[in-house]
Amino acid sequence: MAVEYDGGVVIGADSRTTTGAYIANRVTDKLTRIHDKIYCCRSGSAADTQAIAEIVAYQLGFHSIELDEPPLVETAANLFRASCYRYREELTAGILVAGWDKRKGGQVYSVPIGGMLVRQPVSVGGSGSTYIYGFMDANYKPGMNKEQCMEITAAALSLAMERDGSSGGVVRLASISEEGVERRVILGNQLPKFSTH
Amino acid sequence: YLFLHFVYGPLKPGTSNIFLLRNAVLEVEAIKVGCSVPAARKTGTTICGVVFKDGVVLGADTRATEGMIVADKNCSKIHYISPNIYCCGAGTAADTEMTTQLISSNLELHSLSTGRLPRVATANRMLKQMLFRYQGYIGAALVLGGVDCNGPHLYSIYPHGSTDKLPYVTMGSGSLAAMAVFEDRYKPDMEEDAAKQVVRDAIAAGIFNDLGSGSNIDLCVITKNKVNYIRPHDEANKKGVRTGDYKYKQGTTGVLTKAVTPIDLELLEESVQTMDTS
């Protein structure tokens, strides 16, 4: 998931990759760097999303050198959309593009399966997202600061990981702002607990 | 051959169906003659890798199966990629062999072009981009490991083209057995002997608990300046020596009567043809 705040974005993801019922990687990093201050959250097929992210990272890197300027988050999102929409029949990729640029500050763009592109202040994705739409609708308020965004992201991911079998492991968080990128990991035993039984 | 489109779906971009057509024709022709199409030989396998203090240790079993029959009791599953990079392969034997050879060849050319020792990340990129292009039809599941200018690296690469960079990985039908050993005994920054022991034990778990894996344990220890390709490291399944003999001594059967009838043969023609042994 990804959340905008005034001055940047907070992104978060679980760390589980499965092949059927087997967990192929329990410490996956689904927050992939596309550029210095643009990251994406990957969900769906690992092969598809890795391939697309690497292609977009290349395209954006090239574009940035041409411009001699840090690229816009909207540009990165459009590059994702271009690939995801053109090959929509062949791909299974749900991607959240989030980052900071000078023009519009912190932005979150959602590119779900099918290749739609829409900017949202908050977005969730993946198989576990269904369990936290209600939580986000109830608890997100516009105007939260960075730490509040981190807390709500960690809480939402914990809840989703508790209920969804395909999600789990550790919570990986990152905040992107003008100052740079700050990464955090919350291990299983340190996750916020909601259940008493 | 419209059925091909029905069964396999529309053609994916960047692929062609010429081999699907060829296989369909061969299958029809084979049935006409009364044979069946051979099943692809798979390395039902246990392969694994671990990063230790000075490098990586790769391990593999040596059984290749064709269905339920062992086709090769001592095949080599650890393939050379470059002097500092080796790759274990599980899945379809032909696919792992040809894929690793292709990337090895391209990497050598790349290395000559850059003037540098190849990096593991480069081999990983080349492998994953090729496997993604073939959309999983190339059944190669690989454990890629090596040491380059940035230190030791270990990747697992899946047939559809996704990769994971981890300190320890297992692949193949025996991967769950091997991973159980790793999850119990892996420690970061192990010494070489400890790393070799844990890899040996992980492959042994696969050999003895997975029917698709068996025979010996091959190891490959890659460090900054040296590669130690140990084949076999452990002959875990040596063929037993027969304790008895079914042969009887000469004279065991007593002779009761003997009748000899010489047959007179007339020599009609004798010709000598010398063999060219030059």
Which pLDDT tens digit goes with each residue over B140-191?
Answer: 999 999 999 999 999 999 999 999 999 999 999 999 999 999 999 999 999 9
Which letter does DSSP use for residue B139 in this model? -
* Residue A113 in domain: yes
Catalytic, B45? Answer yes
Residue at B261 is within a domain: no
pLDDT digits (tens, 9 = 90+) for B64-98: 888 888 888 889 999 999 999 999 999 999 999 99
ipTM confidence: 0.91
What band does B224 get if pLDDT is binned at 50, 70 and 90? very high
In-domain check, residue A191: no
Q: What pLDDT score does B1 carry?
A: 45
In a domain, B199, yes or no: yes
A19 Cβ under 8 Å from any chain B Cβ: yes
Mean pLDDT for chain B overall: 90
What is the least distance, in Å, from the CA of A23 to any CA of chain B? 10
How far does B160 lie from chain A, in Å, by closest CA? 6
Looking at A146-155, A162-171, B4-13, B72-81, which range is the least confident one?
A: B4-13
Q: What is the CATH number of the domain that holds A126?
A: 3.60.20.10
Half-sphere CA count of A145, side-chain side, radius 13 A: 1
- Mean pLDDT within B183-202: 97
Which positions in chain A touch B161 (Cβ < 8 Å)? 47, 50-51
Asked, for residue A143, whether it belongs to a domain, the answer is yes
Q: Which residues contact B205 (CB under 8 A, 6 or more apart)?
A: B46, B174, B177, B178, B180, B181
Residue A71's domain comprises 2-186
Question: Does residue B240 register a pLDDT over 90?
Answer: no
Region B216-223: what's the mean pLDDT? Answer: 96
Q: Using the beta-carbon criterion (under 8 Å), do A50 and B164 form an inter-chain contact?
A: no
| pLDDT tens per residue across span A7-56 | 999 999 999 999 999 999 999 999 999 999 999 999 999 999 999 999 99
Look up tokens 């990128």; give the residue: A181
Q: Is residue B186 part of a domain?
A: yes
Does the residue A85 lie in any domain? yes
* Alpha-carbon span A4 to A67, nearest angstrom: 26
Residue A55 lies in a domain: yes
Say yes or no: A47 contacts chain B, CB-CB below 8 A.
Answer: yes
Mean pLDDT of B128-144: 96
Provide, as residue numbers in chain B, all residues whose Cβ is less than 8 Å from the Cβ of A24: 156, 158, 164
Query: Is residue B156 classed as helix, strand or coil in its secondary structure?
Result: strand
Q: Tell me the C-alpha distance between B71 and B214, whole Å.
A: 12
Domain assignment of residue B99, yes or no: yes
| B7 pLDDT higher than 60 | no
A90/B12 CB distance under 8 A: yes
Q: Which of B45, B65, B99, B122 is catalytic?
A: B45
Find the CATH number of the domain harbouring B145: 3.60.20.10
The set of long-range contacts for A157-160, using a CB threshold of 8 Å and a minimum separation of 24, is A157/A1, A157/A12, A157/A13, A157/A14, A157/A128, A157/A132, A158/A191, A158/A192, A158/A193, A158/A194, A159/A131, A159/A132, A159/A135, A159/A194, A160/A14, A160/A126, A160/A128, A160/A129, A160/A131, A160/A132
Task: State residue B68's pLDDT score.
Answer: 86
**pTM for this predicted structure:** 0.82
Give yes or no for residue B9 having a pLDDT over 70.
Answer: no
Is the pLDDT confidence value at B223 over 70?
yes
- Asked, for residue A39, whether it belongs to a domain, the answer is yes
**Residue pair B218/B233 in contact by the 8 Å Cβ criterion:** yes
pLDDT at B256 over 60: yes
Q: If contacts are CB pairs under 8 Å, which of residues 135-164 in chain A contact chain B?
A: none
Q: How far is B143 from chain A (nearest CA, A)?
A: 13
Structural domain total, chain B: 1
* B251, part of any domain: no
Residue A22 touches partner B, C-beta closer than 8 Å: yes
- The domain containing residue B165 runs over which residues? 55-234
pLDDT at B175: 95
Instruction: Judge whether residue B257 has pLDDT over 50.
Output: yes
User: Total structural domains in chain A?
Assistant: 1
Q: Is residue B93 part of a domain?
A: yes
Interface test with A, best of B164, B169, B171, B186 (most A CBs within 10 A): B164
Region B94-119 average pLDDT: 97
